Amino acid sequence: MINTVVENYRQWRNYRDTVDELARLSNRDLGELGISRGDITEIAREAATAK
C-alpha cells in the first residue's frame, strides 16, 4: 500500500514538473520542439508514467 502511494506521488510530481517546465517555454521554443500548448498535458501524462 505504501509503495502504491509513493509511486502515485512520484508520477504526479513528474507530471507537475513536466507541465511546469514546458509551460515556461515560449511558443517559439515549443514550436521548435514540435509541441503546441495544447499538447503539454498529454506529453506530461506520458512522461509521468514512463520508467
**Domain coverage including residue 21:** 2-49
46: closest CA among 35, 5, 6?
35
The structural domain count of the chain equals 1
**pLDDT by residue for the chain (51 residues), tens digit each?**
888 999 999 999 999 999 999 999 999 999 999 999 999 999 999 999 986
pTM score of the predicted model: 0.86
Distances 28 to 7, 14, 32, 34, 35 between C-alpha atoms, Å: 34, 24, 6, 10, 10
